[in-house]
Amino acid sequence: MYSGIATGHFLPLLLLSAAPVFIAGLLEDLTKRVTPLMRLLAAFVSALLAIALLGAFLTRLAVPGIDYLLLSMPWAAMLLTMFAVGGVCHAVNIIDGYNGLMGGVSLLILGALAYVAFKVGDQNVLLACLALAGGVAGFLMWNFPRGMIFAGDAGAYFVGFMLAELSVLLVSHNPGRVSPWFPMLLMIYPVFETVFTIYRRKRRKAAAGLPDSMHFHQIVYKRLVRWMVGSVEAKHLTDRNSLTAPYLWGVGLFSVIPAMLFWQHEWVLQLGCLLFVLLYVWLYRRIVRFRSPRWMVLRKARCDARCHVRRPPHKP
């Protein structure tokens, strides 16, 4: 375990590193004038602070050739780490779309990080994971299922930064013990959601930073969760919103569980990343083409004087 930082100093330094990206997100929440590029640059600044204060940068990816480059040129390792941390911040913000989605997925990831930190005896990362998990759990109680509070860009970028940095610290401060592919598989859902979004927008010749309505969680909401379809009551719309998150928690478990079981076995983790990508693309294509597996489609209809439900035509 890396012992260069006292336990009492670790968390304050980590929170200090998170300040730029949190402030950028908060300003966006308050003013709506902080562009995605500015928030990404703030994430880079936070990652640079973590490198300076905590020594948090990756020198190994378990990829031949790249590892030699990272070891021989520390500046390249730092740039890679900054890019990775900024990408995870943006990825977590993307999945912050429905009640309980970001919070639930983050809790799963934090549980896995805490488990591995305990296994390798990394007390700093373990305590930070437990502290953040407590905060996210408290937020989740009010966010899911009724949506009484929301994370906003400040909360999503802060949680994303913490997940990224705790992953980097766990790998970089325990060399040879924790595979760098462990956090990659652990966070493959939000990360690949971002990569796939960029791919979709490039195919449509749309700007990569513009919002759209075709994220995985959005098509799950529109085409799988058919709760109170056509209802005009806010309560029914909230129910439908909240039923979206458990679908994506299940998707997240497809990566979190194998990552926890095989956190030291790089080829298994790499295979897990590949299988998750194939599963994601297959499910996405099926849902978009209105060919969702029947067992995945949730239907429940109730109707009273204020609720009119449109039923799909019967198909022989």
Whether 55 is covered by a domain: the verdict is yes
Residue pLDDT, tens place only, 248-280: 999 999 999 999 999 999 999 999 999 999 999
Mean pLDDT for 162-170 is 97
Q: Provide the angle, in degrees to the nearest 10, between the axes of the packed helices 36-54 and 152-172.
A: 40
Whether 314 is covered by a domain: the verdict is no
pTM of the model: 0.88
> Does residue 85 contact residue 168 with C-beta atoms inside 8 Å?
yes
pLDDT at 214 over 50: yes
Kind plus residue range of the DSSP H or E element containing 299: strand 298-300
Kind plus residue range of the DSSP H or E element containing 298: strand 298-300
E strands, 143-212, in order:
none
> Does residue 226 contact residue 297 with C-beta atoms inside 8 Å?
yes
Whether 148 is covered by a domain: the verdict is yes
> Does residue 40 contact residue 73 with C-beta atoms inside 8 Å?
no
| Residue 29's pLDDT band (cuts 50, 70, 90) | very high
Whether 313 is covered by a domain: the verdict is no
Residue pLDDT, tens place only, 279-307: 999 999 998 887 877 767 766 544 444 44
Whether 125 is covered by a domain: the verdict is yes
Residue-range definition of the domain harbouring residue 286? 7-300
Whether 310 is covered by a domain: the verdict is no
By DSSP bridging, strand 298-300 and strand 225-227 are parallel
Whether 69 is covered by a domain: the verdict is yes
Q: What is the C-alpha to C-alpha distance for residues 222 and 45, in angstroms, rounded to an integer? A: 37
User: Within the chain, how many helices (H) and strands (E) appear?
Assistant: 13, 2
Total domains present in the chain? 1
